[in-house]
Amino acid sequence: MTNDLHLGSLYLLMAVMLVAGSLIGRRGRFGSMLTMAVAWLAIFGAGFVVFTFRDDLGYVAQRLRSEATGEPVEVGRQIRIPMAIDGHFWVEGQVNDVPVRFLIDSGATMTTVDQATARQTGLKIDPNRGQLVRTGNGIIRVALGRAETLNVEDIERRNMSIHVAANDDLNVLGMNWLSTLKRWSVEGRWLILEA
């Protein structure tokens, strides 16, 4: 930290010396010298900002890409998911190593997939455990399934209970998965998942 402070101070001193030297060496009108000074200060100011945030530039690039594409940003054991244009948080997960697009819904008690997704991912479904559950869209019939693995980015959970909906075509990542996290929260337009 101290070395960074010294490097930053040295950088600013060099900038001031260069600007002062160029102004002293020029013999012209005050307006053109002032324009030159402002230009040099802007150049060195931009350089100083880049120097100051050099360790965070990778994150800035990830965040810009995320805003443009909707892909999550991973920072250590933290995943930041941008809000989609529809106001929801969507994520590409994997069930038994098969890609599945999920709506993240903290109002859903259980992670739920449709029958087509259950077949594609090879979910183990208990034929004797059908039940009716109340959802935001009304009452639906579900069977109890079990996934060997359920991943979002590098956060993996094993042996997860999953409802398989008889008539729904929406895959929902619910509280039974979210509650396994160390922390999850919504900050502005971002959903933060921390393992």
Model pLDDT, residue 143: 86
Q: How far apart are CA 157 and CA 176, in angstroms?
A: 11
Q: Is 99 a member of any domain?
A: yes
42 with 114, same domain: the answer is no
39 with 132, same domain: the answer is no
Say if CB 147 and CB 96 are below 8 A apart: yes
87 with 124, same domain: the answer is yes
88 with 138, same domain: the answer is yes
24 with 97, same domain: the answer is no
87 with 33, same domain: the answer is no
pLDDT of 178 over the 70 cut:
yes
Q: Is 83 a member of any domain?
A: yes
Q: Is 128 a member of any domain?
A: yes
Q: Which domain holds residue 6?
A: 2-52
CA distances from 4 to 15, 51, 159, 162 (A): 16, 9, 47, 50
Give kind and range of the element (H or E) at residue 151: strand 138-152
Say if CB 129 and CB 120 are below 8 A apart: no
37 with 78, same domain: the answer is no
Say if CB 113 and CB 100 are below 8 A apart: yes
Least confident of 51-55, 76-80, 114-118, 189-193: 51-55
Model pLDDT, residue 53: 61
At 100, the pLDDT band (50, 70, 90 cuts) reads very high
19 with 77, same domain: the answer is no
Q: Is 149 a member of any domain?
A: yes
116 with 173, same domain: the answer is yes
Q: Is 79 a member of any domain?
A: yes
Task: Please give the span between the terminal C-alpha atoms of the chain, in angstroms, as a whole number.
Answer: 29
19 with 86, same domain: the answer is no
Q: What is the CATH number of the domain that holds 136?
A: 2.40.70.10
Per the structure, how many domains does the chain have? 2
DSSP 83: P
The per-residue pLDDT for range 18-58, each reduced to its tens digit, is 666 665 565 556 667 677 777 777 787 777 766 666 555 56
How many percent of the chain have pLDDT more than 70? 66
Q: Is 58 a member of any domain?
A: no
The overall pTM is greater than 0.75 = no
The per-residue pLDDT for range 114-169, each reduced to its tens digit, is 989 999 999 988 776 677 777 766 777 788 999 999 999 889 999 999 999 877 67
At 8, the pLDDT band (50, 70, 90 cuts) reads low
102 with 185, same domain: the answer is yes
For residue 15, how many other CB atoms are within 10 A of its CB? 17
Q: How far apart are CA 110 and CA 143, in angstroms?
A: 12
47 with 96, same domain: the answer is no
